[in-house]
């Protein structure tokens, strides 16, 4: 019975975002730039775009179960977006075919087409709606019991933070 209750709570948290906060429509670019910030919340000391593997006993931020579920779910869903955008751009490059490296105009035109395609991909609405995170739940601070989350990580996850002071 308790197992069903836990599953029900997890489903509610996942479907409503971080603890019932309203979701806003993000662009694909905002989703892509939020992903490294969410990943940096996995372990204390992990930096943006950090590719190192941390040991299983690495110190974790004190986030609570609901927030961990939201962050983990968002990471998984945004990884799918990242992979889809990457595949789409690679397919576009493949469809363009080779360019004569001696033809400056052709190189410039190819670069323009690549940039236009990238802009089209990243300006589009993000196909997923990441859960919004109430910044107070991150318990940011330097005191004992608080989370020393770097400013760069906060900046990266800014699109999904709610409750920020004005």
- For the cut 60, the answer to whether the pLDDT of residue 126 exceeds it is yes
Return the pLDDT at 6.
34
User: Tell me: the pLDDT tens digits for 96-111?
Assistant: 989 888 999 999 999 9
Return the pLDDT at 23.
58
Find tokens 């889809």 and name the residue: 84
- Structural domains of the chain, count: 1
Torsion from C-alpha of 33, 46, 134, 128, nearest 10 degrees: 40
Beta bridge pairs of residue 147: 140
- Could you tell me the residue range of the domain that residue 88 belongs to? 2-162
Return the pLDDT at 147.
92
| Pick from 161, 151, 117: nearest CA to 47 | 151
Note the pTM of the prediction, 2 decimals: 0.77
User: Tell me: the pLDDT tens digits for 35-56?
Assistant: 999 999 987 877 777 777 777 7
User: Tell me: the pLDDT tens digits for 133-166?
Assistant: 999 999 999 898 899 999 999 999 999 999 888 7
């Amino acid at each position: 019975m308790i197992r069903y209750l836990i599953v029900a709570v997890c489903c509610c948290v996942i479907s409503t975002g971080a603890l019932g906060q309203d979701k806003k429509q993000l662009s694909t670019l905002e989703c892509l730039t939020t992903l490294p910030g969410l990943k940096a919340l996995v372990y204390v000391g992990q930096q943006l775009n950090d590719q190192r593997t941390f040991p299983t006993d690495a110190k974790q931020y004190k986030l609570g179960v609901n927030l961990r579920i939201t962050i983990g779910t968002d990471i998984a869903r945004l990884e799918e977006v990242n992979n889809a955008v990457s595949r789409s751009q690679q397919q576009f490059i493949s469809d363009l075919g080779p360019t004569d490296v001696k033809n400056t105009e052709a190189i410039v035109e190819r670069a323009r087409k690549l940039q236009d395609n990238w802009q089209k991909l990243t300006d589009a609405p993000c196909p997923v709606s990441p859960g919004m995170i109430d910044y107070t739940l991150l318990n940011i601070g330097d005191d004992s019991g608080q989370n020393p989350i770097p400013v760069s990580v906060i900046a990266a996850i800014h699109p999904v933070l709610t409750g920020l002071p004005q």
